[in-house]
Structure 1
Amino acid sequence: MNLHSASSNVSRETLDRLHAYADLVRRWNPRINLVAASTLSDLWERHVVDSMQVFDHADRTATTWADLGSGGGLPGIVCAILALELMPDCSFTLVESDKRKAAFLLVCKQEFALNLTVRIERAERLAPLSAQIVSARALAPLPQLLPLVARHIAPGGCALLPKGKNHAAELEAARAEWHFQVTSHVSTTDASARILALKDIQRV
């Protein structure tokens, strides 16, 4: 099994949890559309490993992590599972307005004894979380996403945002309204995709 990931140095127990999470997604997906049905056959690589690499770029000293639009827990649940072993002092807040998806996230919390809370609200209405790390996967294009990230990130914090092949155009569009420092990491699961690490996010 090729994990493509620094997180592949995790224990068998953590890997078992990740596989159990993937099984939960498969069981729930026919009732709640957690991931596109067409991607279920490639769930591990397309979604789990893709989310694990977000964790690879996280500051391991951070103690607060907010995942916006968590959906089926990608990357929030995956990162929270990895954090049990690698960032045990980090608490997660998963923001998901869909009550059925939030119910799935709560099942994951209980099943894997994760250090997280689920907020069943829209990110734009939620009181600022002041999180040291903010993540969001497949939630919105960068120009629409940055107001939400800026609302919930702590001073000096970092946003970890997986983006597809349009990442360069999204960055260019976002710079019309925002200043930020960005480090672009090539995705290990898709050469045309990037993990964008943004800091010092300020509206122009």
Structure 2
Amino acid sequence: MTPVPPSSIPGVSRETLERLTCFANLLVRWTAKINLISPGDVPHLWERHILDSLQLAPLIEQGSHVTDLGSGGGFPGLIIAIAADADVTLVESDRRKATFLREASRATGCRTTIVNQRIEAAAVPPAPVVTARALANLSQLLTWTEKLVANDGYALFLKGQQAADELTNAERDWHMTVTNIPSRTSGGTILKISDIRRV
């Protein structure tokens, strides 16, 4: 059963909502074949995944270039590509998920490049913005991001309730400038991180 999309989302145009709905319908169909999201999450797809990822769009300049790490089922990278009209490089090591990302990009008319490689092996140029969601602890994310973010760029990480602990651990090895933005869809936070360098 395909979850019903919201009738409207503040700050989101009707055209963008239609593209998000197209993406949601495709994801539900593919989830029956491959593990894009947990089957138990399907009824909550909009709240748990789409609206959660959508929080990043206002933090990214329209049309910007973004590198999304561990894109999986398209969160948050494809949502950003749709809502921020961004040019997004989606890095995903799983071949079947990469195939889904290509199909979803085509169906929704997104400007994306799908890189079907492990993050540490991905040869992509530094981007102004690097994003990730539900992927790894902060220290690991910073290790990957250091070479993938432009000198004056920043990272946006959707983190859960352990974000404060992860920050404390990461600060032992990393210098960074951090802005905490409370999540509107969960008890977690969005970490906006710039000036990333090893201590």
TM-score by length of 1: 0.91
Instruction: Tell me if the contact between 1:128 and 1:151 (Cα under 8 Å) persists in the aligned partners.
Output: no
Q: Which amino acid aligns with 2:81?
A: A
CA spacing shift, 1:169–1:23, aligned 2, 3 Å = same
Q: Is the 8 A contact 2:65 2:129 kept in 1?
A: yes
Q: In the alignment, what sits opposite 1:82?
A: 83
Residue 55 of structure 1: aligned partner: 57
**Residue 10 of structure 1: CA displacement?**
2.3
Q: Distance in 2 between matches of 1:108 and 1:25?
A: 8
Q: CA deviation at 1:53?
A: 0.1
Q: Which of 113, 119, 133 is matched with 1:137 structurally?
A: 133
Q: Which residue, out of 154, 166, 184, partners 1:170?
A: 166
The match for 2:3 is none
Instruction: Give distance in 1, aligned partners of 2:147 and 2:37.
Output: 27
Alpha-carbon contact 2:68-2:88 (below 8 Å) kept: yes
Moved more, 119-128 or 94-103: 119-128
Aligned-partner Cα distance in 2 for 1:73–1:27? 14
Tell whether 2:66 aligns with 1:65.
Answer: yes
User: Aligned ranges for residues 3-152 of structure 1 at < 5 Å?
Assistant: 8-58=10-60, 60=61, 63-84=64-85, 90-152=86-148
Cα distance change of structure 1 residues 181 and 92 upon mapping to structure 2, 3 Å threshold:
same
Q: Identity percentage over the alignment?
A: 43
Instruction: Verify: 1:182 aligned to 2:178, yes or no.
Output: yes
Q: Distance in 2 between matches of 1:128 and 1:114?
A: 19
Cα deviation 1:105-133 (Å, max 9, x = unaligned): 00011111211100001111112420000
CA contact (8 A) 2:58 2:84 kept: no
Large movers: runs of 4+ above 6 Å: none
Q: Distance in 2 between matches of 1:105 and 1:98?
A: 11
- Cα distance in 1 for partners of 2:145, 2:112 equals 19
Q: CA RMSD in A?
A: 1.5
In structure 1, the residue corresponding to 2:123 is in which secondary structure? coil
Q: TM-score, normalised by structure 2?
A: 0.93
Which consecutive unaligned segments of at least 5 residues does structure 2 have? 1-5
1:34-75 alpha-carbon deviations (Å, 9 max, x no partner): 1122211100010000000011222x1663100000001000
| Cα deviation digits, residues 6-25 of structure 1 (max 9, x gap) | xx322211101101111111
Report the count of equivalent residues: 194
Q: Secondary structure at the match of 1:180?
A: strand
Q: CA deviation at 1:157?
A: 0.4
CA distance in 2, matches of 1:26, 1:37: 9
